[in-house]
């Protein structure tokens, strides 16, 4: 099944298309749809464009809508009211920075995150914002000490891969004391090549969660060493 899709709603068609172009560089398999400008090609928003965008982006796992300004939010909310109940249950409207949020959401979706986790990734991607407090792991039942081998370290893409996939586990997990299910918390670690990562987890899926982190780190997240 395809990843969660994204619809970018902007008053400017060019802006929406540019954000989609940027996100596509990070998440090539995610359904990304630009819904910018009016039906006549001017500045503004279009009910019909948003409705069609949702239909195009929704390939079974849901859709997250990203917006630029307040009236875009209002138009998107109007569209949600007209969706059938089954589809409406799979669509979320994110309260997030358009560019940073869309990129973070796209990478999380690419990593396999479900719709609520994709929204979380988008809404946490606020420039300069402090990450959420890490969860209480308590006495960890699984742990590992790993070394980052990839050249760029724990930057946006691997952070989103980890956060997106770990969000699917029933476990509390931290990396160097940060919430490993939060893209922004992982990026805030500023962990570079050669950095040591202390991974700790508790809960029913603790072993699987730590195993996932180990596999991703040891393979360098698929990036050059």
The catalytic position among 155, 193, 211, 214 is 155
Rounded distance, CA 161 to CA 58, Å? Answer: 21
Contact present, 77 and 86 (Cβ < 8 Å) = no
pLDDT at 133: 60
Nearest 5°: phi and psi at 191?
-80, 120
pLDDT at 36: 97
User: Bridge partners of 146?
Assistant: 197
Contact present, 172 and 205 (Cβ < 8 Å) = no
Question: What do you get for the CA distance between the two ends of the chain, in Å?
Answer: 31
Nearest 5°: phi and psi at 166?
-70, -25
CATH topology assigned to domain 5-124: Rossmann fold (3.40.50)
Number of residues that make up the chain: 225
pLDDT at 132: 56
pLDDT at 136: 67
pLDDT at 184: 76
Q: Which residues of the chain have pLDDT under 70?
A: 127-137, 225
For residue 91, how many other CB atoms are within 10 A of its CB? Answer: 20
Beta strand segments in the chain, E: 5-10, 32-36, 63-67, 91-93, 142-147, 172-175, 178-179, 196-202
- This prediction's pTM: 0.71
pLDDT (tens digit, 9 = 90+) per residue, 138-188? 788 999 999 999 888 998 778 878 887 888 899 999 999 999 988 778 888
Q: 142-222 belongs to which CATH class? A: alpha beta
Active site residue 11: no
pLDDT at 173: 94
Domain boundaries, the chain: 5-124, 142-222
């Amino acid at each position: 099944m395809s990843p969660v899709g994204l619809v970018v709603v902007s008053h400017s068609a060019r802006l929406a298309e540019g954000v989609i172009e940027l996100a596509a560089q990070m998440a090539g398999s995610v359904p990304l749809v630009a819904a910018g400008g009016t039906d006549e090609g001017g500045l503004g928003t279009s009910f019909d464009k948003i409705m069609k965008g949702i239909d195009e982006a929704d390939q079974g796992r849901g859709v997250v809508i990203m917006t630029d300004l307040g009236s875009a939010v209002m138009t998107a909310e109007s569209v949600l009211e007209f969706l059938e109940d089954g589809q409406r249950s799979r669509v979320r409207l994110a309260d997030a920075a358009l560019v940073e949020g869309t990129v973070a959401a796209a990478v999380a979706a690419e990593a396999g995150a479900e719709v609520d986790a994709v929204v979380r990734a988008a809404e946490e991607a606020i420039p300069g914002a402090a990450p959420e407090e890490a969860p209480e792991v308590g006495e960890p039942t699984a742990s590992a000490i790993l070394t980052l081998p990839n050249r760029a370290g724990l930057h946006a893409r691997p952070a989103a891969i980890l956060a997106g996939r770990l969000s699917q586990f029933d476990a509390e997990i931290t990396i160097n004391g940060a919430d490993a299910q939060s893209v922004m918390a992982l990026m805030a670690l500023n962990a570079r090549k050669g950095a040591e990562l202390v991974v700790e987890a508790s809960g029913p899926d603790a072993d699987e969660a730590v195993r996932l982190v180990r596999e991703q780190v040891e393979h360098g997240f698929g990036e050059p060493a």
